[in-house]
Chains A and B, each alone.
Chain A
């Protein structure tokens, strides 16, 4: 049986982590191709529901990454994001969503090797945890599962 290849979605900010990921590439540092990177202007723009939408669409793991505190291109976007993540993560954990599958990080534009580490470690972690079956098996009419009467 082929080894499980996790699907990871990364929500990153344009000015720091995206640039940092670019640096990883130009530095020829290898990192797992299992990650799909979605670029945002700022972590402050990341709606918390987007994380759940990623799981709903088949992601096994999520990375959320942006500028270090005090380095936000828009001054305070990442501070707002930080508070939001603290609250959202608590709520998800309370409701039984596996927050081990969500990795938050600060990766700057100069941290090419850090980005590779974040991705590789997350992929290894998710590989251990396995596919996120509980979430993907949720009765979702759009996935044509049977709906019982009542």
Chain B
């Protein structure tokens, strides 16, 4: 998709004052925050809470539209029955994600495909409507990054409403990408300045291409019974870390929690890697062993989603591999798939 973007400059100091203005305007601001040795997205109360000393946050920004806990309704039980009150999603606060890497910004397209392909998920779409994505290009990458292998790149405007790129002088090139980005710019234009001829390519990280995702997608057809899944996943310990940090994973669980006669129904993150994810009430579990669950993860992202939703289920951020306690490495596994015969 070719988008004509408008370029502006956001000075380093103006960046901070802009963030503070957003907060004082009662907008929620989600950005990277340092917490010990960890950098992760959190809601901030001031621009000074944000950090820029990181390559990638531990978790993705998907919680803006798909939070780890979402209240769906509340209920009260009584002798006469239950009264149910739906949560009103029509008055959500505005939320601005500041510093979303291009891979993070791209994740929303995949989530949107999942949440709107047959039934339009009201909550997700309403939350996404209220979310403005201010992206931040990458000047550094590490061994785990592979956005360029899945159709992305460290300076991609795809998914961002405004994309910032830090230039040599410390100020940001701001590309106004979408209509939402234009509206944002209009509301806060006093913080921006006109841009000259800024070349951003020299400021971007070099992310080497590790494989061709189109080849992988076509190769995976017919790979269901392959032994490669067991070989690759023997060391997988079956936790949910990869799914929870992933920008495109959307599996969820629905739970009721109550206290006395009052309760709520919640939508919570879930992971297909957990052993009882597919346990039926009958006791049968179609994905009883880890290799079946690992196969599901890869096929879902690289076969089923491209096939049915025309979108890849992976943005190449590498978070899954960084977070994995057992050193499952998605670049390695995907590259390995290319070499293996069925």
Please tell me which one of the listed residues B28, B40, B63, B258 contacts residue A142 in the complex, with CB atoms under 8 A apart: B258
Which of A56, A143, A144, A147 lies in contact with B69, CB distance below 8 A?
A: A147
User: With an 8 A cutoff between CB atoms, is B95 at the interface?
Assistant: yes
User: Which of B132-140, B170-178, B259-267, B302-310 interfaces with chain A?
Assistant: B259-267
- Residues of chain B from 21 to 66 with CB closer than 8 A to chain A in the complex: 28, 30, 40-43, 59, 61, 63-64
What residues of B have a CB within 8 angstroms of the CB of A144 in the complex?
71, 74, 264
Within 8 Å by CB of B64, from A56, A147, A149, lies A149
* Chain A residues whose C-beta falls within 8 Å of the C-beta of B259 in the assembled complex: 56-57, 140, 142-143
Chain A: minimal CB distance from B72 (Å) = 11
A146 (CB) vs chain B CBs: closest residue: B71
Chain B nearest CB from A135 CB (Å) reads 13
> Does B67 reach chain A (CB closer than 8 Å)?
yes
Interface membership of B257, Cβ < 8 A: yes
CB < 8 Å A-B pair total: 42
Query: What's the least CB distance linking A138 to chain B, in Å?
Result: 12
Give which listed residue, A56, A57, A141, contacts B266 with CB less than 8 A. Answer: A141
Residue from A56, A142, A148, A150 within 8 A of B263 (CB atoms):
A142
Known contacts A141-B71, A141-B257, A144-B74; A149 and B30 CB within 8 A of each other: yes
Q: Which residues of chain A are within 8 angstroms of B41 by Cβ–Cβ distance?
A: 150
Q: Are B42 and A150 in contact (CB under 8 A)?
A: yes
Complexed CA–CA distance, A141 and B262 (Å): 11
Chain A, Cβ-Cβ closest to B92: A149
- Contact status B64-A142, CB under 8 Å: no
Q: Are B264 and A149 in contact (CB under 8 A)?
A: no
In the complex, A148→B74 CA distance in Å? 18
Q: Which of A22-51 contact B (CB under 8 A)?
A: none
| B63, A150: Cβ atoms closer than 8 Å | yes
Alpha-carbon separation in the docked complex, A57 to B258 (Å): 11
Encoded as 1 (CB less than 8 Å from any A CB) or 0, chain B from 239 to 273 comes to: 00000000000000000011110111010000000
Contacting pair A149 B257 (CB below 8 A): no
Q: A114-150 vs B: 1/0 string, CB under 8 Å?
A: 0000000000000000000000000011111001111
A57 partner residues in chain B, CB cutoff 8 A: 259-260
**Distance from A53 Cβ to chain B, minimum over Cβ atoms (Å):** 10
Q: How many angstroms from the CA of A150 to the CA of B262 in the assembled complex?
A: 26
| B30: A residues at CB distance < 8 A | 149-150
Q: Which 3 A-B pairs have the closest CB atoms?
A: A142-B257, A150-B63, A150-B41
A-B contact pairs, 6 of them (CB 8 A): A141-B264, A141-B266, A142-B263, A149-B28, A149-B30, A150-B67
Residues on A facing B (Cβ under 8 Å) = 56-57, 140-144, 147-150
